Amino acid sequence: MIAIIDYGAGNMKSLQFALNRKGLECCVTTEKKQILNSTAMILPGVGAFQDAMTTLKQKDLINTIKDETTKGKPLLGICLGMQLFYETSEEDGEWEGFGLLKGKVSRINYTVKVPHIGWNTLHMQRSSSICQNIPNNAFVYYVHSYAVKEYAYNSLVASTAYGGTIPAIVQQDHIIGMQFHPEKSGNVGLQLLANFGEMIS
């Protein structure tokens, strides 16, 4: 059972439906016990960085998620969920994230329309099982105004071009981040979720 961690983010129904369609069981939860008993965790997207961190703190889930990750449980962060992995964010102030990965979150360059909304490509930077059966330059659906910068280069699996290089898929061992919404990215997105499902032992 995959635990989708509910921190008050918007549309989680689409993610549940998408996982179910790939035969992956999931539940939406804030219960510690359910997270401890889960086989993998997903931090979904949509919302503001500060709100998300505050809610997770209030529900006392940050250490639970970190501890489970340290023990080797697969963790997928989607959109804002991925950004929460990093040390800090400049979204409406200066906020501390989980610090699971090195890097910070800042606004997309002012040279392009923000938010970055729509179908954009995945440029593969290195091979990873998470991208199995995904062709180079496949299109996925993005909706975001902030992006990860100053990240560890060896964590970059795929990027996209929008006012500079934006990390699209990052990975450090069993921690995976996707800046786009796989649950809204057609068959490509469903395949990526299935690949994440394969990481669950």
Partner 1 sequence: MLAKRIIPCLDVAGGRVVKGKKFKNIQDVADPVKLAKRYNQAGADELVFYDITASNEGRDIFLDVVESVAAEIAIPFTVGGGIRTLEDIHRVLRAGADKVSLNSAAITNPSLIKESALKFGSQCIVLSIDAKQTEQYKWDVYLNGGRKHAKLDAVEWAKQGEALGAGEIVINAIHTDGEQLGYDLNLIHLIASSVSIPIVASGGAGSINDFLEVLKPGLADAALAASVFHYNDIPIPQLKKHLYNKGIEIRSERI
Q: Is 29 in the site for partner 1 (CB under 8 A)?
A: no
Q: How far is the CB of 129 from partner 1 (least distance, A)?
A: 16
Rounded Cα distance, 172 and 63, in Å? 19
Q: How far is the CB of 115 from partner 1 (least distance, A)?
A: 5
Task: Report d(CA 197, CA 176) in Å as an integer.
Answer: 12
Mask for 93-132, x = binds partner 1 (CB under 8 A): --------------------x-xxxxxxx-----------
In the stretch 39-78, what mask flags binding to partner 1 with x, by CB under 8 A? -------xx-------------------------------
> Cβ atoms within 10 A of the Cβ of 20, count?
11
- The sheet carrying 146-149 orders its strands as 95-96, 88-89, 104-107, 146-149
Residue 148 phi, psi dihedral angles, 5° rounding: -85, 135
| Binding flags for partner 1, 140-159, as an x/- string (CB under 8 A) | -x-x-x--------------
The answer to whether 21 contacts partner 1 (rule: CB under 8 A) is yes
Minimum separation from the CB atom of position 52 to partner 1 (A): 13
Which of 155/159 has CB closer to partner 1? Answer: 159
Residue 68 among the catalytic residues: no
Question: Does 181 qualify as catalytic in the annotation?
Answer: yes
Q: Residues 34, 71: contact at Cβ < 8 Å?
A: no
Which tokens belong to 139? 């299109």
Catalytic residue among 26, 79, 91, 131, which?
79
Q: Is the Cα dihedral 23, 173, 83, 163 positive or negative?
A: negative
x/- track of binding to partner 1 for residues 159-188 (CB under 8 A): --xx------------------x-xxxxxx
Q: Are 23 and 60 in contact (CB under 8 A)?
A: no
Q: Is 79 among the catalytic positions?
A: yes
CA distance 18 to 137: 22
Active site residues: 79, 181, 183
Could you list the residues that contact partner 1 (CB under 8 A)?
10-11, 13-14, 17-18, 21, 46-47, 113, 115-121, 133-135, 138-139, 141, 143, 145, 161-162, 181, 183-191
